[in-house]
Chain A
Amino acid sequence: MSNQNIYIPYLMRIEKITREAPGVKTFRLKFENEEEAEAFSFKAGQFGEYSIMGVGESTFCIASSPTRKGYIECTFRQAGKVTSALSLAEEGDVVGFRGPYGNTFPIDEWKGKNLVFIAGGIALPPMRCVIWNCLDLRENFKDITIVYGAKSVNDLVYKDELAEWRSRPDVKLVTTVDPGGETPDWKGEIGFVPSVLEKTAPSAENTIAIVCGPPIMIKFTFPVLEKLGFTEENIFTTLENRMKCGFGKCGRCNVGEVFVCKDGPVFSYQQLKLLPAEY
């Protein structure tokens, strides 16, 4: 590896495109090169730089679980230059992927514990990886609760998988939409994720909480978790920050002494509190 040019991406073919929500797509990607596919591995929490040649690179987590071999998945919302170009790609097209970068969710340390996953909107993709990872190793964990909300019913991503999670007896799924985002036949909760979390009131005893969402949601979720009795070392989140290289050299994602790309993106609440408010 040490004589390889770290800026060169793997070439990936888009095997499947799923429209998740308005402006949001999931790509299933396969390695063009068999040997690279064999040699590749990653852990839940890691991300990559996905690119269209000639347009640029964009940072998304790897949204599929490492327990499922042969492909990786990413989910993104069309927002800027690169995601707009990616949105125009079709099944069969070739895109670039550099990775895996970043640290990982310490799943091994969670064995024998209850897990509560809390996510909002487009922040479910970084969680989906670790959720499936844990569900694929279901016997390792006790109760699994998922609290997920979006602005409206249409904005919920992974709708098929939500149905699958809901149908499983070994998972408690609570979905919610913001007030005004419900449809007449909506059967889930109505309210913002932090308040729905408070209502769900999962026990903090022997439990790990994993949170991911827009800054405003995180801001109101942490106090709820603290109120419910969760301690700082038992709350985890995955951070987003502007990134370019993904491996701690370009300087863009530097916050305090850490690079979000290299020392993160997974941080415990305890670690997060030590960072200056610059993310």
Chain B
Amino acid sequence: MNELIKSAAALLESNAVQVVIGYGKGSASRTRAIFVTNVTDCEKLIFDSRCVQNLAVYLTKQEIKKLGKPAIVAPIPVLRSILQLAVENQITENDLVILGITPESELINFETFASIETFLATHRIAIDEKYQEIISKIKNMPVAERFAYWVKELEPCFKCYACRAACPLCYCTRCTVEDNQPQWISVAAHPLGNLEWHIMRAMHLAGRCTDCEACYNACPMAIPINLLTKSMLQDVAENFGSYGPSLDKENTLSSFKPDDKESFIR
């Protein structure tokens, strides 16, 4: 993408940013995240359908923040994560330059988070029919069967936490699994430990997840945890009406008012 390379080079040249977070050539036929800090290396920036890793995960990493102000190559999944990070006050507009890429491979420099939200309003999260079918099928299982289904699906999990590491919204410097007073989540990767982890992660992401599938793509055992994220999205949409991050609406499930009608919260 020549335009992308030109924009990146210009930004580095003028020192408007000190690093460009983008995609570059990886192993075999893969792509990987690259961190370009000089104009010559901008040549290495590429963009095509293989670029599925969610780069927004690097915006909250201390090693990357040390490099300076970033520009970030942002296809739609990355844009959604950027908006959610903004809603959660993890980034401000001055912290980064956004090199948005539309599905038609157009480059848009989003200067405000509001402009991202406007753009995303015409590119809403949609759950593919084939996933909707699988999710319905699971939801229609009686509880015992559904439990057995998940115990079996999670059996290959060895709790490497690649799902957590790849997720842009898992930015807690100390994750709940790392609390040991008390040890909420068993450390070991046995059936109970696996269930505890995935249930907890699903609950912590409900209302925040934007269905980028970074977790599923990261899993070395190809466990279909994207079924959990998509199912959550559906549930949140059905019960709370929201379907994606929004700067003026409150964050579903993590907003609190003292006069909440639920009594257990008082």
The interface of chain A, by Cβ under 8 A from chain B, is: 56, 80-81, 84
Contact = CB atoms under 8 A, between A and B. Distances in A.
Interface of B: 180-181, 183
Contacts of A81: 180-181, 183
Contacts of B183: 81
Contacts of B180: 56, 80-81
A235 B26 CA distance: 50
Nearest to B181: A81
Contacts, number: 7
A2 B180 CA distance: 33
A210 to B, nearest CB: 33
A81 to B, nearest CB: 5
Interface of B is mostly: loop
Contacts of A80: 180-181
A84 B180 CA distance: 12
Contacts of A84: 181
B231 to A, nearest CB: 34
A51 to B, nearest CB: 14
Nearest to B179: A81
A58 B115 CA distance: 53
B168 to A, nearest CB: 29
Contacts of B181: 80-81, 84
B219 to A, nearest CB: 24
B184 to A, nearest CB: 12
A56 B186 CA distance: 13
Nearest to B180: A81
7 cross-chain pairs, A with B, having the tightest CB-CB distances, nearest first: A81-B180, A81-B181, A84-B181, A80-B181, A80-B180, A81-B183, A56-B180
7 contacts: A56-B180, A80-B180, A80-B181, A81-B180, A81-B181, A81-B183, A84-B181
A147 B181 CA distance: 36
A252 to B, nearest CB: 14
A84 B181 CA distance: 10
A209 B181 CA distance: 39
Nearest to B183: A81
A80 B181 CA distance: 8
A187 B94 CA distance: 58
Name which of A56, A80, A81 has the most chain B CB atoms within 10 A of its CB. A81
A81 B181 CA distance: 6
A82 B183 CA distance: 12
A84 B182 CA distance: 12
B153 to A, nearest CB: 30
A81 B180 CA distance: 7
A56 B182 CA distance: 12
A80 B183 CA distance: 12
B93 to A, nearest CB: 39
A57 B180 CA distance: 13
A56 B180 CA distance: 10
B232 to A, nearest CB: 32
Nearest to A85: B181
A199 B184 CA distance: 51
